[in-house]
Structure 1
Amino acid sequence: MGRVVLVTGAGRQLTARFIRRVQRDGDIDRLIAVDVQPPAHQLGSAEFIAADIRQPAIGRLLAEHHVDTVVHMDVNGTPIGPRGSRTSVKETNVIGTMQLLGACQKAPSVRRLVVKSSTNVYGSAPRDPAVFVESTVAKALPSGGFAKDAVEVEGYVRGFARRRPDVSVTVLRFANILGPTADTPLAEYFKLPVLPTVFGYDPRLQFVHEDDAVEVLALASGEPRRGSYSAGTFNIAGGGVLLLSQCARRLGRPTAPMLLPAIRWAGSALRAVGVTDFSPEQIRLLTHGRVVRTSQMREMLGFTPMFTTAEAFGDFAGSQPPGLLPPRTLAGAVDRLQEAVRHG
């Protein structure tokens, strides 16, 4: 029997792109895409099955179709559509992962598991190392939001790997995914007309282009390349870093520096109107930043991104409407302010 691949989170735009991408390789005999509701995006020749991974029925699906590879992409920070909620997202991230892994544990046909995770698992704290590696233990574990979900998901994945050592398990920790169609919490933040920032901080940020995210998922879920190691945990990010101030300048967005109490209030107001997931962990990222090392991605997984962090952000910025200020005007104003500060 040939390869049978099941992909979760088919309702997401990025998942639909991944599904269409792996079909081009021609080494999958059957591709099953699952989600609660029919996707709005094309899935090519994949077979869509309406299924809720939070329910035990997902186990019957694995057994009936003799699935050998599971690509778990239903781990996200934003809901789908206006009816979605943070509660439903958390249930899918955490409860859904528990049910899916329990089903995989009982399915003897499963031989490979790929999980879409996030560098959010490292948190963001003032005494963090300058660069995180895959083995780094967070100084302070995330206390809420998507970051906490990702930590819990990875904990369940490690438990599954211990119980099923015969299964090849790959965890891809993505930096913030950006691109013209990205729907991540940070993408929503950058779409605001004025960017709330934490007074006195200019964090370092990393991004991965959505095209690179699709390609590395295809690599991890395919047959291992000669000399590469597809099992394990890998940081995924484009080379280089950007400061938050540089991002604002490239977007032409003015910033609104706030003290922490004020920005927490602003975050609550934004969440109340459904603008963005401005969770405490998001605020910590915009305070302390986060940078990861990607040497294992290149040397062990054998993947080199097509886009640097700056290029990924540039492609995202180019897809957005003009900011309130022309980028050159904003950049000049910021440069003059910084020069004035330096010279007292």
Structure 2
Amino acid sequence: MGKVVLVTGAARQLGGRLVRRVQRDPEVERVIAVDAVPPEHHLGGADFVRADIRQPTVGRLLAEHRVDTVVHLDVTGTPLGTGGRASVKETNVIGTMQLLGACQKSPTVQRLVVKSSTSVYGSAPRDPAVFTETTPPKSLPSGGFAKDAVEVEGYVRGFARRRPDVAVCVLRFANILGPSPDSPLAEYFSLPVLPTVLGYDPRLQFVHEDDVIEVLRIASHDPRRGTLNSGTFNVAGEGVLLLSQCSRRLGRPTVPVLLPAVTWIGSALRTVGVTDFAPEQIRLLTHGRVVSTVQMRETLGFEPKYSTAETFADFARGRGPGLLPPDKLAAAVDRIAASVPRTPPGA
């Protein structure tokens, strides 16, 4: 008898892609896709169940379908549809608590995979150059999705202590980008002009949507020889990009703002529709964040297909030309250089 996998957050593009991908695995017999709203995309042959994970119905689903693997993707920073920040937080935190409570009571659940974020490390001026999975943050995130992720991981650790027989894998993703990203940072990079903090050029890491799907698939499997699909793992593409490099590759000019005015930046971005640009996002764009992916490669056995630069390039292709397209800007610079009279040698 094959595996029965339940995936939360199936109405989002990422959840839908994972549902379709997991169905192709020969060892998977059935996939149960769960979300509070119907998806606008196809889910292949999966069984879609409209259910709010904040409600006790999720426990009945686990029992009715004898689910052995749960992949919890319904932890996110952006609302789906008309929901606001309060609804997102309830789903992230209360929904996770309800789901974990159901998993704890289920005798059939053997594996739990949880989508988290490297934002749990925070962003501070005295941060280490590179965070490992065991590095404590200098200061815990004070709000927004980052704080939700910290709370979610705390509940997951409690569940792992209560159910040591269940293999638990927490994947801390760097900023997820690609052709169809769904995150506050993607919304920020889609602005025609990028507000930045004067005097700061933070280092950033990204992970491609395709790599997210693949590492989630790997983590949901039983451990293979030589690998251990349990524990907490940072997931990011190789290398880093500076914020200034990102703006140039997008062709979007920046507007530097003095550091004391960072709260104004957040308010302004929320005004134009960037829904969850909390102070923690501002700190990321001030101090940056880089994580080690050694454990991802050596323990989990996953090698991303895309580097950070390649991920951002794929994202940039889907944004369209900015106000200052790099090729046109380079051509303009070349024309200016050609028009400047050259001083003869020795003059």
Moved over 2 A (4+): 260-263, 272-277, 328-334
Aligned residue in 1 for 2:54: 54
Say if 1:8 and 1:34, in contact at 8 Å, map to a contact too: yes
Aligned residue in 2 for 1:263: 262
Aligned residue in 1 for 2:224: 225
Task: Provide the TM-score with structure 1 as the length reference.
Answer: 0.94
The yes-or-no answer on 1:290 pairing with 2:306 is no
1:120-159 pair list within 5 angstroms: 120-159=119-158
Letter aligned with residue 75 of structure 1:
V
Letter aligned with residue 208 of structure 1:
V
Aligned residue in 2 for 1:213: 212
Separation of aligned partners in 1, 2:169 and 2:10: 19
Change (3 A) 1:86 1:330: farther
Separation of aligned partners in 1, 2:224 and 2:71: 18
Displacement after TM superposition at 1:84 (Å): 1.9
Separation of aligned partners in 2, 1:275 and 1:182: 13
3-state SS of 2:168 partner: strand
- After superposition, the C-alpha distances for 1:82-105 in whole angstroms (9 at most, x for unaligned) are x12111111000000000000100
Separation of aligned partners in 2, 1:185 and 1:288: 17
Letter aligned with residue 313 of structure 1:
F
Aligned residue in 1 for 2:280: 281
Letter aligned with residue 161 of structure 1:
A
Separation of aligned partners in 2, 1:255 and 1:48: 43
Change (3 A) 1:162 1:330: farther
Displacement after TM superposition at 1:56 (Å): 1.3
The yes-or-no answer on 1:21 pairing with 2:34 is no
Letter aligned with residue 165 of structure 2:
D
Change (3 A) 1:123 1:333: farther
Change (3 A) 1:293 1:278: same
Root mean square deviation, CA, Å: 1.6
Aligned residue in 1 for 2:109: 110
Letter aligned with residue 274 of structure 2:
V
Separation of aligned partners in 2, 1:141 and 1:309: 25
Say if 1:241 and 1:309, in contact at 8 Å, map to a contact too: yes
Separation of aligned partners in 1, 2:200 and 2:88: 30
Say if 2:8 and 2:72, in contact at 8 Å, map to a contact too: yes
- After superposition, the C-alpha distances for 1:134-157 in whole angstroms (9 at most, x for unaligned) are 001101000000000000000000
Aligned residue in 2 for 1:242: 241
Say if 1:252 and 1:323, in contact at 8 Å, map to a contact too: yes
Separation of aligned partners in 1, 2:240 and 2:272: 31
Displacement after TM superposition at 1:330 (Å): 5.1
- After superposition, the C-alpha distances for 1:129-184 in whole angstroms (9 at most, x for unaligned) are 00000001101000000000000000000000000000000000000000010111
Aligned residue in 2 for 1:318: 317
Displacement after TM superposition at 1:57 (Å): 1.5
Separation of aligned partners in 2, 1:155 and 1:5: 23
Change (3 A) 1:164 1:219: same
Mark the runs of 5 or more structure 2 residues left unpaired by the alignment. Answer: 337-347
Letter aligned with residue 101 of structure 1:
L
Aligned residue in 2 for 1:44: 44
Task: Provide the TM-score with structure 2 as the length reference.
Answer: 0.93
State the percentage of identical aligned residues: 76
The yes-or-no answer on 1:99 pairing with 2:90 is no
Separation of aligned partners in 1, 2:35 and 2:326: 41
Aligned residue in 2 for 1:341: none
3-state SS of 2:98 partner: helix
Say if 1:254 and 1:330, in contact at 8 Å, map to a contact too: no
Instruction: Report how many residues are paired.
Output: 334
Displacement after TM superposition at 1:70 (Å): 0.4
Separation of aligned partners in 1, 2:332 and 2:274: 28
Separation of aligned partners in 1, 2:234 and 2:104: 25
Separation of aligned partners in 2, 1:51 and 1:333: 55
The higher radius of gyration belongs to 2
Name the stretch that deviates more: 259-268 or 298-307: 259-268
Separation of aligned partners in 1, 2:131 and 2:260: 28
Mark the runs of 5 or more structure 1 residues left unpaired by the alignment. Answer: 337-344
Aligned residue in 2 for 1:35: 35
3-state SS of 1:71 partner: strand
Displacement after TM superposition at 1:333 (Å): 9.7
Separation of aligned partners in 2, 1:242 and 1:327: 16
Displacement after TM superposition at 1:331 (Å): 6.8
3-state SS of 2:28 partner: coil
Letter aligned with residue 186 of structure 1:
L
Letter aligned with residue 203 of structure 2:
R
Separation of aligned partners in 2, 1:275 and 1:70: 31
